[in-house]
Each structure stands twice: as structure tokens, then as C-alpha cells.
Amino acid sequence: MDYQKAKKDIEQILSENKKDRLEQIVSYLYTHFDYYDWVGLYLVENNKLTLGPWVGKQATEHTTIPFGKGICGAAAETGKTEIVSEVKKDDRYLSCFLSTQSEIVVPIKKNKKIIGEIDIDSDTVDVFSSKDKKFLERVADMLSEHICMTT
């Protein structure tokens, strides 16, 4: 997938300002990157990560994650993108799907505060590159303007 093209398409979707734009972005990422096997947005509500729109073969049981727990909670605490090349070797990992091999979690910030995260699981080991990181951090910035803080 061409990251530049994806950025433009995502900008376009967001500029239309439709009610379901967050769902559309999640779905865009899932369908255009073959190794993005589960794509979800967690939104911060009452200081916890709460699952928002997601696309994948299966639902996760982790619909609420406290800061500091799992890979998602780690990224929320540090504000830094987490790339885990082999989830089975990371003690912090909260298991959702047996097929998952690697994961990337990208914080979404507004005025330096974490307001949500992009969480992507892949069934392929060590698949997320610095290109995915750069691209998804840009997507997170774009999404930031479209997410409201609910304390």
C-alpha cells in the first residue's frame, strides 16, 4: 500500500466530516493493509481506554483497559508508540486473539494529553516497520481533531 495515497484518502474521509468517519477510517486501514488483521480505536473515558470502532474477524474481550495495563496501557502512560514484534515474548501483552503475532499501538494526543489510541494486531511476526509508525502517527494527528474528550 502507498502510504502517501492512504494519507490523502484518510484526509479526504475526515474532511467530509460524516458522523461515521471514525468507523470509516478503521475500516479503510483494515481493508487497505493486508497485514493489519485487527484494527481498533480506543478512546479515553474516565481515565481508562475504552474500545470504540473496530474491524476484525473477532471481537476482543478487552473493551476497557486501565492506563499502565497491556501494550495499550503502556503506550497511554508514556505517550509513545509501541511496536511489539512478537507478542508472545512480551509479558505486558494482554491476549485477545490466538492468531495475533505482532502489534502496534499509536497514541492519539490533543494538547499533549492522550485522548485515544490506534491499536493494530497482525497475524504476521515482526511486520510493523518505521514506515507504519510514521504513517499511523500522522493518522493519529489527523484523528485528534475529530475526537472529543469525555474526561
Buried b (16+ CB within 10 A) or exposed e, 97-125: beebbbbbbbbbbbeeebbbbbbbbbbee
Q: What are the percentages of helix, strand and coil residues in the chain, rounded to 5? A: 35, 30, 35
Span 83-102, contacts to ligand SME by CB under 6 A: 93-94, 96
* Pattern 33-52, ligand SME, x by CB under 6 A: -----x-x------------
Give the residue, chosen from 62, 117, 122, 127, that forms a contact with ligand SME under the rule CB under 6 A.
62
Taking CB under 6 A as the rule, does residue 117 contact ligand SME? no
Taking CB under 6 A as the rule, does residue 71 contact ligand SME? yes
User: Any alpha helices (H) in the chain, and if so which ranges?
Assistant: 3-15, 21-32, 70-78, 130-144
In angstroms, give the least distance from the CB of 4 to ligand SME.
27
| Contact yes or no for 54/139 (Cβ under 8 A) | no
Taking CB under 6 A as the rule, does residue 119 contact ligand SME? yes
In angstroms, give the least distance from the CB of 150 to ligand SME.
20
- In the DSSP assignment, the letter for residue 94 is -
Which of 109, 132, 114 is CA-nearest to residue 36?
132
Part in contact with ligand SME (CB under 6 A); list of ranges 8-16, 17-25, 68-76, 141-149:
68-76
- Give me the residues that bind ligand SME (CB under 6 A), please: 38, 40, 60, 62, 65, 70-72, 93-94, 96, 103, 119, 121
